[in-house]
Structure 1
């Protein structure tokens, strides 16, 4: 009978520790996004949630560098999960016009990326601090999305909707459209003429014009 209360107590402590850890990550994320990694001290992170100095290292032995890597990795995992769910909705429906498919997907990805502007700012600003494991994970996940897009284009070519092209290069072109728009958000430099939806559609139209089959061109 005496073991059960200890088990419940241990479970409660574990839950409290997990909650405290998440509070620390949220505080660090907010400060990293606002002030930058180097301008943020562990004391500032602890004070933001009312924690005693030094206790942070109980949860993150490697301090704020461990917190930075965790924020980027966990945030990107959540982002990829949402992107994969969206991809499943569009990738296997050849009845949807290719232009609409690409526009819908790019808009969905854009909204997912902008749903966490703090993560975007940190990732762009602190990319040189990412360790090899996290950087390789980010690179591999983007590469997988590129391959998925390339296969979609290849399927559409097999259906006669576009001509044969370099599908991998074309996938990079499509993905770069959103990166230009996201760059505006994190840098303030606007290359879209102020209208992101029109800009996105114009670039897709330009790509599709170049991918037309020769026998689909007007006389």
Structure 2
């Protein structure tokens, strides 16, 4: 990585940590400069629109990282171990929040939601919908009956809702980033209940 790229990444890392800790409004460009160890004005070299462009970059990078983590192949799911396969997907989904950058980006995206542009909001929606569509496709591979298509889409939506609620509960309400402390047995029970709908 070139020195200029390292400097830019350093500003992003510092900005992300400060926005997560203090909020966007509570973080000044001076604070970012001091924490990053850069001269005043250098932030504007990398981010000409200043703090707002830095926020946009952090939000975008976080959404892309979560999308890339979630963009796994869900082919060859089988009825005999479907709950295990869904739980494997849940673990993959959780990993996108299981590091400082992912966690901080998530907090910033939630806290600064009123500042997000329509395009940024659409990135979030399309990421969630993309994972949900992958789940629907995988479930249709398990049960290809045409009359089940709509039901399987609903089941995929319910699975995604369980994933999202669990992440929000752990990260926002309980302020816990420790996946070992999470009661995954409860998540699995909910998943199994939802998957029972496929048998009807």
Q: TM (normalized to structure 1)? A: 0.79
> Which protein has the larger Cα radius of gyration, Structure 1 or Structure 2?
1
How far the C-alpha of 1:42 sits from its partner, in A, is: 0.6
Aligned to 1:201: 188
- From 69, 73, 92, the counterpart of 1:108: 92
- Aligned pairs, number: 193
* Unmatched 5+ stretches in structure 2: 176-180
2:38 counterpart of 1:54: no
Mapping for residues 120-135 of structure 1, pairs under 5 Å? 120-135=106-121
Which structure ranks higher in relative contact order (CA pairs < 8 Å, sequence separation ≥ 6)? 2
Structure 1 residue ranges without an equivalent (≥5): 1-13, 214-219
Change over 3 Å in CA distance of 1:205–1:94 after alignment to 2: closer
1:130–1:105 distance in 2 versus 1, CA, 3 Å: same
1:165–1:211: 8 Å Cα contact kept in structure 2? no
2:166 is matched with 181
Q: 1:28 to 1:96 in 2, by over 3 A?
A: farther
Q: Which moved more, 1:15-24 or 1:150-159?
A: 150-159
How far has the Cα of 1:196 moved from its partner? 2.4
